[in-house]
Structure 1
Amino acid sequence: MKRKALAIGNGAYAPGFDLENAVNDAVAVAEALRRSGFEVNEFTDLDHTAMQDAALAFGKSLKRDGAATFYFAGHGVEIDGVNYLIGIDADPTSAVDAKHNSLKLDYVVDLMDHAGSETNIVILDACRENPFGKNWDRSLGTGGLGPVTAPRGTLIAFATSPGEKAMNGTGKHGRYTEALLQHFDAVCPVETMFKRVRATMATSTGKKQTPWEHTSLIAEFYFNRSRNVPVTQYSEQAVSDGGFIADPKKPAHVVLDELKSHDWYRQNPAARGIKPSDLNGFRENACFMIGRALYSAADGGSKGAEPWVTNFIAKTGGVDPHKRKALLDGMLFEVFFDRDGILRSKPKAKHFDELYGAASAKLLRPSLEFIGEVLVNTGRRFLAFPNIDDDVSVDITTTMLPGKANPSITGIVVGGRDILSLDSPDYVDEHGIPRYFAFRPQDLANRLAAEAALPTSRQVLNFPDLSMPPGELGYPVGYSLEWMS
């Protein structure tokens, strides 16, 4: 997912209206956004023309299905029901001048909305009382920033509640950005992060300044989906095992050589011959590689390897906890990463559902946390990670086609995104209509696990077009399920 951001900090207003922290705030937030994988355009002390140019360029740069963040620190006002972000060239003694030397907030929101970004975040560190009020004619209906409607897929965060003034912090930042920076790197959904900011603000300001958000987000969004834990606990050879060359003098290598042979007549006896005492005598790197090889062999149909995956807990009884974790880490890694340690375009998830069930056991959860951290380090978004405990809502849209007794699937939507994808135009007719084959809801659940790496235990299947779950569905021929974005 492409992440882009625009950060503007305006502080050099007319004497008496300048803001001491705004520039520092924008610079610090821009840096936090870069740490979170955003490509950031950062500007300070812009006049209204430069603000409009920056906003337009930002809007044009956004990509469909990406994530966009706009941050502004400076003066903002509502004039005649319209919100304006004030340029430094505005005359604070004239509401009319401020109106025409500003950037409309609606303009920024519209640019982001029409770009088709999956997630849009707008953060405004500005007062919601009129900072110039005593100099203006109140008949104009002027005040601080007013309410804003957040379009679909958008969250708009205000530093204050309506009518409140934004307070300076104890250092070089305003109170709001100070709190925002404190929580920005947390690994949590963005709504949770803003709740934490609000709690910090309540404490630091004695409840005198309360941040406020309007949200219509559909997909779950994280600024930071990783604690930056790389795969350093295992060797480069273990992570990129494609170039493995066995040393016949090492027992672990002999086992690996057999498991990686792609020959059932060698794989089966090797897998069946592995004992807990063998694994306890191997190094953790070797156990990780054996885990990868066992899963790969099982995926390829080795009957000797399959029980290690489908009955992991029983098969590893008596294995040292550290070696057991390394074995399971390797299996989970093999699901998602290839022989070069590169993320697969499609997961090797034939047995993922059973493996996930084992890894969900309390003593084995560190392996789920391990693979979750590795996956989010890729910068991609996944259906099942990093929230390994949450149910995932799956909306299956359907239609009744002429001559069909059962509803036919038209979409499979998770987090606001349709993951049903046509593999080739050859599978549809000249009108774009596919053929369908009979499918039970349980078949769909199994396919979600095998293709989208979404465990059946966490799926909540919804059929919004139907009064009750169907006994049978039509599934479109030539369509597969996307597992990441």
Structure 2
Amino acid sequence: MKAKALVIGNAKYGIKPLDNAVNDAEDIAEVLLRLGFDTTKIIDSTAVEQDKQITDFATNLDDYDIGLFYFAGHGFQKKNENFLGAIDTDFQDEDHAKYTSFPINMLLSYFDKAKNNTNIIILDACREILDKKSWSRSVQNEGLAPIFAPKGTLIAYATSPGQTASDGTGNRNGLYTNALLQHITVENIPIEEMFKRVRNSVYAFSKGNQISWEHTSLTGTFYFNSGQLTHSKDIEYSSEAINDNLYSENTNTLTDSIIKDLKQYNWYVQNPAIDKIHLIDPLSIDKNKLFILGRNILQSACGSSASAIEFMENLQNSIEKFNVENKNHVLNGMIYETFFNSYGSFRQDRLKDCYLEEIYSLLENNDYSESSKFLSQVLLPYKDLVFYIPSLNTNGISIDLQFSKNQENKKLELKNMKYEGNEILVKKDDMWGGTPEKTVYRSIEFQNLHKMISREIGVPENKLTLNSNMKIVADRIIDYPEYHSIMK
């Protein structure tokens, strides 16, 4: 896939500067670069510059498969035609504003003539401009009008047509772009499904006050991340270490030989490899190889290699020799493998949690403080999806459970699970063969519920507090709803 993107973030408006538009543009541009887009980023553009950049971008797409245009800033409509404001747009009245802004219809016209297969427009541009008293009633506070996309085009709005969007709630990003950043890197989901997830997050984050919207005439299937994502440039490890599937073994060294054997998914090969790890001198091995080694030790243990299981069950003794100057690259590899797959994509729906508690227990030791910082670093970009980040949740988290008694069998059924007032127990809608309409329950001891929730949401058991609306003894059997996920 050959893809080109133009990202514009305008914030320094004379009438009403925006807090987050520049951050939005910078973060989207960074992610698109990691996704392989040839990306141009423009910050605080004038009307002349904006016109030139958009025209140059949209008229030079013939050599690309994908074209993507992203805009964060003020947008408005006049008689159902949409315009993107530059920082020097004259907002004194609607006519002045129209002729000093960029018409989206012109961009659509360029896209219609381009020979590439797919074009995407993302508009976080429905932010309220001001009390436009000099504007006609038909324009005031109406956001953007609906746009109908030419063939091969998808248009995404931060909010539904005719509504205005939030510039943010004190975070780095606006509400819509914040949600977009959480989902755009998830691997192997079609673009339509990705924007559906964004819409659900926007609705939840805004407490139902904002709903994003898309119009599409795409004819093919497009994935933002089909495995090509590279991780943040701030991570100290190489792209080969982050994208473990790209690792090329050099069997001339002991460490490479061990990694090669651990990747065989054969216990009879993996077990002897684990038994050789004590021979490695951590001072003589590149940190990237130690990081990959850690990833594959965890992978082998989760795959039931007996020697790897013993290694993980005695983690502190097993890994102590690799702690050099308060850094442990093997442990960092295990941490990363827990939360990210072999392509470097966040395991949003299913963590590799088989030894999560052992890892968290080790991180409470001050000798591994740098690894705790590493965990926080890699999870911070996903703070709206994960429940626990050591640097943010030092006192742990609290979840409220609501049970009701079934009048027929007298069992206690879990009906709601809330975190910070929001429902987090979500019914799955993509089960093989469909999800049963009637809730199906499975029985579990109440004392085991804590461990189960801890593992599913990636929170250490000693950092998770469960509050119940009923007093329940530890060995009481409760009914837990099947076909549900816990999602923030």
The TM tier, using the shorter chain, reads 0.5 to 0.7
CA distance in 2 between partners of 1:217 and 1:389 (Å): 26
Query: Which of residues 224, 234, 237 is equivalent to 1:234?
Result: 237
CA distance in 1 between partners of 2:403 and 2:71 (Å): 38
State the Cα distance separating 1:289 from its structure 2 match.
0.8
Say if 2:300 is the partner of 1:293. no
Between the two proteins, what is the percent identity of the paired residues? 16
Partner of 2:133: 87
The two structures, once aligned, show a CA RMSD in angstroms of: 4.4
State the Cα distance separating 1:246 from its structure 2 match.
2.5
Structure 1 letter corresponding to 2:91? L
Query: Which of residues 333, 341, 345 is equivalent to 1:342?
Result: 345
Q: Deviations over 1:291-312 (max 9, x none)?
A: 0010001111122112433332
State the Cα distance separating 1:457 from its structure 2 match.
1.9
Taking a change above 3 Å as real, the CA distance of residues 445 and 256 of structure 1, as seen in their structure-2 partners, is same
Taking a change above 3 Å as real, the CA distance of residues 121 and 318 of structure 1, as seen in their structure-2 partners, is same
Tell me the SS of whatever aligns to 2:320: coil
Query: Which of residues 447, 451, 455 is equivalent to 2:460?
Result: 455
Q: Deviations over 1:199-220 (max 9, x none)?
A: xxxxxxxxxxxxxxxxx9889x
Partner of 1:22: 15
Partner of 1:196: none
Taking a change above 3 Å as real, the CA distance of residues 7 and 414 of structure 1, as seen in their structure-2 partners, is farther
Partner of 1:258: 261
Partner of 1:391: 396
8 Å Cα contact 1:353/1:456 also seen in 2: yes
CA distance in 1 between partners of 2:10 and 2:345 (Å): 33
State the Cα distance separating 1:425 from its structure 2 match.
7.4
8 Å Cα contact 2:9/2:25 also seen in 1: no
State the Cα distance separating 1:449 from its structure 2 match.
2.9
Structural mapping, 1:2-41, within 5 Å: 22=15, 25-26=17-18, 29-35=20-26, 37=28, 40-41=72-73
Taking a change above 3 Å as real, the CA distance of residues 278 and 405 of structure 1, as seen in their structure-2 partners, is farther
Partner of 1:147: none
CA distance in 1 between partners of 2:288 and 2:300 (Å): 18
Structural mapping, 1:413-432, within 5 Å: 413-415=418-420, 416-422=422-428, 424=431, 429=436, 432=437
8 Å Cα contact 2:326/2:367 also seen in 1: no
Q: Deviations over 1:318-339 (max 9, x none)?
A: 3342595211110011112222
CA distance in 1 between partners of 2:159 and 2:404 (Å): 29
Structure 1 runs not aligned, ≥5 long: 11-20, 58-67, 75-84, 91-98, 106-110, 124-154, 158-182, 191-215, 220-227
CA distance in 1 between partners of 2:396 and 2:404 (Å): 26
CA distance in 1 between partners of 2:249 and 2:10 (Å): 53
Say if 2:380 is the partner of 1:376. yes
Taking a change above 3 Å as real, the CA distance of residues 88 and 463 of structure 1, as seen in their structure-2 partners, is same
8 Å Cα contact 1:47/1:87 also seen in 2: no
Partner of 1:81: none
Tell me the SS of whatever aligns to 1:316: helix
Aligned residue pairs total: 333
State the Cα distance separating 1:41 from its structure 2 match.
3.5
Partner of 1:17: none
Partner of 2:312: 309
Tell me the SS of whatever aligns to 1:368: helix
Structural mapping, 1:65-464, within 5 Å: 85-89=131-135, 103=141, 121=166, 230=233, 232-275=235-278, 278-321=281-324, 325-344=328-347, 345-377=349-381, 381-385=385-389, 387-415=392-420, 416-422=422-428, 424=431, 429=436, 432-464=437-469
Structure 2 runs not aligned, ≥5 long: 1-7, 29-69, 75-84, 105-123, 144-156, 179-204, 209-230
State the Cα distance separating 1:277 from its structure 2 match.
5.1
Tell me the SS of whatever aligns to 1:261: coil
8 Å Cα contact 1:6/1:70 also seen in 2: no
8 Å Cα contact 1:8/1:72 also seen in 2: no
State the Cα distance separating 1:474 from its structure 2 match.
0.3
Query: Between Structure 1 and Structure 2, whose CA radius of gyration is higher?
Result: 1
8 Å Cα contact 1:283/1:323 also seen in 2: no
CA distance in 1 between partners of 2:160 and 2:415 (Å): 25
Tell me the SS of whatever aligns to 2:344: coil
8 Å Cα contact 2:240/2:247 also seen in 1: yes
Taking a change above 3 Å as real, the CA distance of residues 8 and 312 of structure 1, as seen in their structure-2 partners, is closer
8 Å Cα contact 2:274/2:297 also seen in 1: yes
Deviation larger for 397-406 or 317-326: 317-326
Taking a change above 3 Å as real, the CA distance of residues 104 and 8 of structure 1, as seen in their structure-2 partners, is farther
Q: Deviations over 1:387-408 (max 9, x none)?
A: 2424222122322224233211
Structure 1 letter corresponding to 2:364? S
Q: What TM-score do the two structures reach when normalised by structure 2?
A: 0.56
CA distance in 1 between partners of 2:377 and 2:369 (Å): 12
State the Cα distance separating 1:50 from its structure 2 match.
9.0
State the Cα distance separating 1:445 from its structure 2 match.
2.1
Structure 2 letter corresponding to 1:454? V
Q: Deviations over 1:448-485 (max 9, x none)?
A: 23322222122111223x25567331012333434x6x
Q: Deviations over 1:27-54 (max 9, x none)?
A: x652234335595232455368799x99
